[in-house]
Amino acid sequence: MGEGQISHFDARDPDYAARVKKSFNAQGIMGHIGAHLVSVRPGYCEIELPYSEAVSQQHGFFHGGIIGTIADSAGGYAAFSLMDTENGVLTVEYKLNLMAPADGERLLARGQVLRPGRTLTVTRAEVSVFKDGKETVCAAMQQTLMRIAGPIAGGAEISG
């Protein structure tokens, strides 16, 4: 999912980046695992996660559930960046393919909107692992999100 493949969307909210950052920081799971919001543009989001034993599985690789967690949030925030200020998003479903062992120093999830919709938005995310300066795509996700209008439990701005 190189830079040239990213679709360009217009954000409805001129303060979308601050709204995404606020929502990201409100997610307990992102802080718990040590993930960082790297980049957000209309319809696009990057989340980075450094390696630690807390996010590993028994062979010392990043755990598949953790890979799914950051992919889900990257796709969710890509969609959320296109929403009106009073809207939120919730994941309806996603399919994650783990394609290579996530053996490395850090993960980077790149989420992008494929099709924004009034009710449902479809995104995709790729997760790469970095080791010794080399990037390897280790997972691919396709996701469907539902727009939530108005306040929901935990705040309308919460994604994921």
Q: Is the pLDDT of residue 7 over 80?
A: no
pTM here is: 0.90
- State how far Cα 159 lies from the chain centre: 9
Q: Please give the structure tokens belonging to residue 157.
A: 């701005």
**C-alpha distances in angstroms, 50 versus 1, 20, 106?**
21, 21, 4
Mean pLDDT (the chain, rounded): 91
Residues 67-79: what's their mean pLDDT? 98
CA dist., res. 102 & res. 154, Å (int): 32
**What pLDDT was estimated at residue 157?**
45
Q: Give the pLDDT band (50/70/90) at residue 6.
A: low
State the pLDDT at residue 8: 84
Task: Report pLDDT for 159.
Answer: 47
| Per-residue pLDDT band at 100 (split at 50, 70, 90) | very high
106-131 pLDDT, tens per residue? 999 999 999 999 999 999 999 999 99
Distance CA 4, CA 17 (A): 21
Residue 44 has what pLDDT? 98
Q: Is the predicted pLDDT of residue 151 greater than 80, yes or no?
A: no
**Average pLDDT estimate for 12-38:** 96
**Domains along the chain?**
13-148 (3.10.129.10)
What mean pLDDT comes out for the span 33-56?
Answer: 98
2: pLDDT strictly greater than 90: no
Q: Residue 51: pLDDT band by 50, 70, 90 thresholds?
A: very high
How many other β-carbons are positioned within 10 Å of the β-carbon of residue 160? 20
Mean pLDDT, residues 95-114 taken together: 98
